[in-house]
Structure 1
Amino acid sequence: MSDKKERRGHSGGGPFGGPHGPGMPPEKAKDFKGTFKRLSGYLRPHQGKLLTVLIAAILSTIFGIVSPKILGDATTLLYRGYISGDGIDFVAIQKIMLWLGGLYLLSSLFAYIQQYVMASVAQRTVYDLRKEVNDKLGRLPLKYFDARTHGETLSRVTNDMDNISNTLQQSLTQMITSAVTLVGVVIMMLTISPLLTLVVILTLPLSIIVTTVVAKRSQQHFVAQQKHLGELNGHVEEMYTGHKIVKAFGRERQSAEKFEEVNNRLFDAGWRAQFISGTIMPLMGFVGNIGYVIVSVVGGVLVTRRAIEIGDVQAFIQYSRQFTQPITQLANIANVIQSTIASAERVFEVLDETEETPDASAASKPDRPRGDVAFEHVSFGYHEDQLLIEDMNIKVKQGQTVAIVGPTGAGKTTLINLLMRFYELNAGRITIDGIDITSMKRGELRSLFGMVLQDTWLFNGTIRDNIGYGREGATEEEIVQAAVAAHADHFIRTLPEGYDTVLNEEATNISQGQKQLLTIARAILANPAILILDEATSSVDTRTEMYIQHAMNELMKNRTSFVIAHRLSTIKEADLILVMNQGSIIEQGTHEELLAAGGFYADLYNSQFSSRKEAV
């Protein structure tokens, strides 16, 4: 299964300067109405707060809209006082200015309340949704993750979730404000002059045509920009993670040339997208200026005829400036909502996935786990019509070491997945100490196992924390004892910070063999009843292999052990060897018995032995 992250590029912005614009091609939702209704359901518990947001947005917008009209009255007073020669009534103007100051203050106050309450609603909604998704991921079966790349799942729970959060936080309040502004501006313009309002509205179709034409032309370039950005991200990621390989094979020049080629394509697409989308504001400004000129001329004529006050013309010009802004914002928001609904749909798809079978209500667990394991008539297939394992029967007694061998794809790892109940059986049952594993809680079942795999897993943290991960609440003394038993204590103490040495994200500041010893120490600390070992020594040198083998022998004492073996020379002492091919156990017995039988195992062993002799 590929675990590369899904490469999703991000453009620098939409054609209106924001993260999303009409030029940004959003993903289309398959069921817009259904998904929108479902997402709205998450807002239902916050209806009271949303009503507060709506009222605050309306009041903030109204106070902001009324201000130009009152400012126009001040202009009219100044004009009348100057023309009449009676002097300017500064007391009246002072009152108007105080009124204006109060209105602006109230508008800002309600805008603050609106943003504050909406922030609480948006973050709480996304918190609940994110928690629900996280809980869901914990209940999904392993086959869900096996069928998808890690990047695809991460993208749904991070990128798509952030998209929803940003829309709830910003676009929802902006949509309310824009709609109220548009209605309020039209009403205010009609109260001043229906004729001038008609002039402004006549420029609306021209604005829509300009927006549509530019958005359509820029869209193809935004698509190309996203595509090339994804290619560039992918190339950089591959070159960074495979840096040593690039160096080893001397491919630096080809890598640089590939980067240059993709970067040039990205530059070309990005330049065209940003340039074409960037023309929308000058064009909208041009359309607005046409309306501005017409309003100024017609308004001037109306003033000379005393049909309108000069202050009203000034206010109307301000309103005409505000008229196109909410239209542009609403067009932008419509596109953002389309993208957000698509993101919500992807999140809901995760929530609707089939969960793993619930744990038994009356769960059982061995009081003192011994490690007796039995496979009884087990059948399994990743697809119901294609069985990989049919009627498998195995009995393993406490303390026995069972080696599982076979070619790649034989079903060795599948056997372990079934044992730990990562997958459910098609038929038969698996028991531990006579108890069917389906009657145990998954957490308690998996606590019986300790794993040391070929691919070591260590997290970013101290060596102490990494070993202590094996058992919650382990003391310092127990951690050190586990490290001593795993032959890891000596190398740990040679490090500058000892047990406080912090491992980096990939744990590349220690060797492969040292990493393996730490995972063995962690397994020793966990003190499991059953061990699963996946050829832990296959990627280390001979001397380190000897240390690891000693540590593993210590770990395997008095424990049932399942060893997935690739090098057959390491499992000669196993109590039972299971030879698998194409999902079936075709041979089983001890090393000597299988060699004497001269079958598949003997052929595998002799081929490895002869190839080593030739190598020597």
Structure 2
Amino acid sequence: MSSHRSSRETSKGNRHLKRFYYPLDQAVEKPFNWKQMLRLLNFIKPYSKTLVPGAIVAMFITTMVRLLVPILIGKVVIDVAIANKDITLLTQLVLVIGFLYLLSYLGNMFRIKWINILGQKIIHDLRWNLFSHVQRLSHNFFDKRSAGSILVRILNDVNSLQELFTNGIINLLMDTVMLLGIIVILFVLSPQLAIAVLVILPIMFYISTKLRRNIRRSWQEVRIQKSRLNSHLNESMQGIRITQSFAQEKENTEFFDGVNSDNFEAERIATKKSAYFGPFVEMSNAIGTVILISYGAHLIISDQIEIGTFVSFAFFLGMFWEPISRLGQIYNQLLVAMASSERIFEFLDEQPNVEEKEDALEYADMKGDIEFDHVKFSYDEDRIALHEISLKMTQGQTVALVGHTGSGKSTIANLISRFYDPTEGSVKIDGYDLKDMKLDSLRKNISVVLQDTFIFSGTIMENIRFGRPEATDEEVKDAAKVVGAEEFISRLSGGYETEVEERGNILSAGERQLLSFARALLANPRILILDEATASIDTETEVKIQKALKRLLKGRTAIMIAHRLSTIREADNIIVLEHGKILEQGNHQQLMEAKGEYFDLVKSQFQMLDAL
């Protein structure tokens, strides 16, 4: 791809990002947060008495062997055994060094084994914690974020920590011990030669420190671009039918090319900046080697050090730059981990807008009396959804909510399930404020059937059983029979064991809706919310559903939201809403006689049908 084309399409991608992506994913300039890193390391605690000690012991054995061997070779093999031509001592030293290398090999083998197991366990725990926490967050959290950006944090950001936990942490400890050990040994062997060789260190430290902030911000940008790329991919796959319906494949591909180019550019810049450190270390190594040869030769000639000391110095100098180079790589891992951990902890620190009290009520015997007491609700400051709504729904009553789009129907249903809390006022069930109830206790007594019902990957049996996992196969089949789903299930090749694809794509909209009715019935709720639940069902199927609903609704408080007014004629109470206010309420006969808003809605629907 030419630079001109890349720049042009990247610009196009950025224009689309303004429209599609959330301002929450932004690179921020912060100092390296050691407190946050310590918090990340807390995930090691469960294994601090098992895997960690073994890996540390193995690491120390390997490190001590590597520090001991150059001393033996220089100070004993060369300066003693070879200098005195002592073959016996030389043979013994060869056997000792061979044994030490074998010990180092075993230590390395167990270190790698244990640290990899440790890393996998930590990643498993971290991903589980993040996923379980996100599942408990309020709807407000998901309103502000795309599904793709959430997936990136649970998958990509957690994966990016794997290298840190499987290699980075133990290598950091090993290389730090190695580096300090080498410095101490060098000064013991020859202080003047050590100072000469290590004079480059302060310069190297200064330059590498200057790179840190820049590199860290680049890795932050990489994580953001990956999030945006994943968001677009997720959205594109889910909306592929709409894209093809409007023949927008070319436009969508160009948009993807722009986002993909942004991701490529971010990766390229971050990798390039991170790659500076390796050559810089090699250059420092070369300078140190030149100093060692020139100044070391001078010290040997002037009898200030022995040849064995020089040889040991050469060994240790070669070893010295190796941990420094790895420490640079580890620091890059820390930068990547910090960028990812910031995004992970942002989610873990997110608190539900709907909070559960510590002494919340476990309410097992719910009846289903619902009361809205002067309830106000706003999704944001500029959009008020409900204006001081007061209403009552008694046990076993079927209440229908009607009104134009945006009138507040679904908001009332969301407040009953406590997906949101009222801005003012209170919502009560059986006289108890929902804020005083345990969320699980509340929601296990409520079933919601939506217009766009969600079918999970798995079998028909598993999907119906979703709301009540302990139900028997017979109970599942009975629920399917009641709502009229068994007829189409029996036609499937595998019956109840038929595997449905993602989102139930092998089923028609009406079949998916029937499964959702069966799922709701099996859960045996005290309160049933039907949000446009029959909108996707043909007239013939709707007749079957209406019959099934009589059994489904029996003894339960039901809230029906419907635009198709023919489905709510039998409701005990019909509440007409407009702009978050109650205009009128009563049964079908009463509202028709009043000739108000409901009368006009019914009349307009019949006129539309007549026109068809």
In the alignment, structure 1 residue 291 sits paired with structure 2 residue 292 = no
> Which of these residues, 83, 87, 91, is aligned with residue 88 of structure 2?
91
In structure 2, what is the Cα distance between the partners aligned to 1:40 and 1:610?
68
Per-residue deviation at 1:518?
0.8
| Gap change, CA 1:292 and 1:606, over 3 Å in 2 | same
Does the CA contact (< 8 Å) of 1:179 and 1:326 recur in 2? yes
> Which of these residues, 510, 523, 527, is aligned with residue 526 of structure 1?
523
Per-residue deviation at 1:62?
2.4
In the alignment, what sits opposite 2:487?
A: 490
The one-letter code of the counterpart of 2:63 is T
Does the CA contact (< 8 Å) of 1:7 and 1:151 recur in 2? no
Could you state the TM-score of these two structures normalised by the residue count of structure 1?
Answer: 0.80
In structure 2, what is the Cα distance between the partners aligned to 1:272 and 1:139?
37
| Gap change, CA 1:92 and 1:298, over 3 Å in 2 | same
Deviations 1:8-33 (A, max 9, x none): 99xxxxxxxxxxxxxxx996557935
Q: How does 1:219-230 map to 2 (within 5 A)?
A: none
Q: Secondary structure at the match of 1:506?
A: helix
Does the CA contact (< 8 Å) of 1:178 and 1:327 recur in 2? yes
Does the CA contact (< 8 Å) of 1:6 and 1:150 recur in 2? no
Per-residue deviation at 1:218?
7.5
Per-residue deviation at 1:577?
0.9
In the alignment, what sits opposite 1:14?
A: none
| Gap change, CA 1:270 and 1:42, over 3 Å in 2 | closer
In the alignment, structure 1 residue 176 sits paired with structure 2 residue 173 = yes
Q: Secondary structure at the match of 1:524?
A: helix
In the alignment, structure 1 residue 328 sits paired with structure 2 residue 325 = yes
Q: Secondary structure at the match of 2:389?
A: strand
Q: How does 1:237-256 map to 2 (within 5 A)?
A: 237-256=234-253
> Which of these residues, 58, 61, 64, is aligned with residue 62 of structure 1?
64
Per-residue deviation at 1:255?
3.5
| Gap change, CA 1:317 and 1:569, over 3 Å in 2 | same
In the alignment, what sits opposite 1:203?
A: 200
Q: Secondary structure at the match of 2:502?
A: coil
Per-residue deviation at 1:462?
1.1
In structure 1, what is the Cα distance between the partners aligned to 2:374 and 2:426?
7
Q: Secondary structure at the match of 1:469?
A: helix
In structure 2, what is the Cα distance between the partners aligned to 1:559 and 1:310?
94
Per-residue deviation at 1:519?
1.0
CA RMSD of aligned residues (A): 4.2
For structure 1, which segment, 225-234 or 585-594, has the greater mean C-alpha deviation from structure 2 after superposition? 225-234
The one-letter code of the counterpart of 1:526 is A
In the alignment, what sits opposite 1:353?
A: 351
In the alignment, what sits opposite 2:463?
A: 466
For structure 1, which segment, 412-421 or 538-547, has the greater mean C-alpha deviation from structure 2 after superposition? 538-547
In structure 1, what is the Cα distance between the partners aligned to 2:256 and 2:41?
44
Per-residue deviation at 1:371?
4.1
Per-residue deviation at 1:185?
1.2
> Which of these residues, 590, 595, 604, is aligned with residue 593 of structure 1?
590
In the alignment, what sits opposite 1:562?
A: 559
| Gap change, CA 1:247 and 1:144, over 3 Å in 2 | closer
Does the CA contact (< 8 Å) of 1:364 and 1:435 recur in 2? no
Q: Secondary structure at the match of 1:593?
A: helix
| Gap change, CA 1:338 and 1:215, over 3 Å in 2 | closer
In the alignment, structure 1 residue 411 sits paired with structure 2 residue 408 = yes
Does the CA contact (< 8 Å) of 2:485 and 2:511 recur in 1? yes
In the alignment, structure 1 residue 32 sits paired with structure 2 residue 30 = no
> Which of these residues, 602, 605, 609, is aligned with residue 606 of structure 2?
609
Per-residue deviation at 1:236?
3.7
**Gap runs ≥5 in structure 1:** 10-24
Does the CA contact (< 8 Å) of 1:537 and 1:549 recur in 2? no
Deviations 1:546-572 (A, max 9, x none): 444444344234533210112223222
In structure 2, what is the Cα distance between the partners aligned to 1:431 and 1:268?
54
In structure 1, what is the Cα distance between the partners aligned to 2:283 and 2:359?
71
Does the CA contact (< 8 Å) of 2:243 and 2:249 recur in 1? yes
Q: Secondary structure at the match of 2:504?
A: coil
- Give aligned pairs, total: 590
Q: Secondary structure at the match of 2:467?
A: coil
Could you state the TM-score of these two structures normalised by the residue count of structure 2?
Answer: 0.80
In structure 1, what is the Cα distance between the partners aligned to 2:145 and 2:258?
30
Deviations 1:302-355 (A, max 9, x none): 444554343433332221122223333334444544554565555555347366
Per-residue deviation at 1:204?
2.9
Does the CA contact (< 8 Å) of 1:450 and 1:530 recur in 2? yes
| Gap change, CA 1:75 and 1:275, over 3 Å in 2 | farther
In the alignment, what sits opposite 1:15?
A: none
| Gap change, CA 1:250 and 1:424, over 3 Å in 2 | closer
Does the CA contact (< 8 Å) of 2:396 and 2:555 recur in 1? yes
Per-residue deviation at 1:389?
3.6
| Gap change, CA 1:200 and 1:287, over 3 Å in 2 | same
Does the CA contact (< 8 Å) of 1:406 and 1:580 recur in 2? yes
For structure 1, which segment, 310-319 or 136-145, has the greater mean C-alpha deviation from structure 2 after superposition? 136-145
Per-residue deviation at 1:489?
1.1
In the alignment, structure 1 residue 76 sits paired with structure 2 residue 74 = no
Q: How does 1:39-188 map to 2 (within 5 A)?
A: 57-73=59-75, 76=78, 80=82, 89-111=86-108, 140-151=137-148, 159-161=156-158, 166-188=163-185
In structure 2, what is the Cα distance between the partners aligned to 1:377 and 1:265?
50
Per-residue deviation at 1:607?
3.5
Per-residue deviation at 1:508?
1.0
Does the CA contact (< 8 Å) of 1:7 and 1:234 recur in 2? no
In structure 2, what is the Cα distance between the partners aligned to 1:156 and 1:601?
47
Deviations 1:56-106 (A, max 9, x none): 54443222122122233576279957xxxx9x5443222112221232233
| Gap change, CA 1:532 and 1:408, over 3 Å in 2 | same
Does the CA contact (< 8 Å) of 1:118 and 1:173 recur in 2? yes
For structure 1, which segment, 119-128 or 180-189, has the greater mean C-alpha deviation from structure 2 after superposition? 119-128
Q: How does 1:447-466 map to 2 (within 5 A)?
A: 447-466=444-463
Does the CA contact (< 8 Å) of 2:152 and 2:230 recur in 1? no
In the alignment, what sits opposite 2:500?
A: 503
In structure 2, what is the Cα distance between the partners aligned to 1:261 and 1:132?
34
In structure 2, what is the Cα distance between the partners aligned to 1:427 and 1:261?
45
| Gap change, CA 1:119 and 1:351, over 3 Å in 2 | farther
Q: How does 1:536-555 map to 2 (within 5 A)?
A: 536-555=533-552
> Which of these residues, 440, 443, 452, is aligned with residue 440 of structure 2?
443
Does the CA contact (< 8 Å) of 2:157 and 2:223 recur in 1? no
> Which of these residues, 569, 573, 576, is aligned with residue 572 of structure 1?
569
In structure 2, what is the Cα distance between the partners aligned to 1:473 and 1:236?
36
Q: How does 1:305-324 map to 2 (within 5 A)?
A: 305-324=302-321
In structure 1, what is the Cα distance between the partners aligned to 2:220 and 2:136?
36
In structure 1, what is the Cα distance between the partners aligned to 2:283 and 2:293?
15
| Gap change, CA 1:497 and 1:415, over 3 Å in 2 | same
In the alignment, what sits opposite 1:20?
A: none
In the alignment, what sits opposite 2:15?
A: none
| Gap change, CA 1:435 and 1:310, over 3 Å in 2 | closer
Per-residue deviation at 1:216?
8.4
**Gap runs ≥5 in structure 2:** 1-19
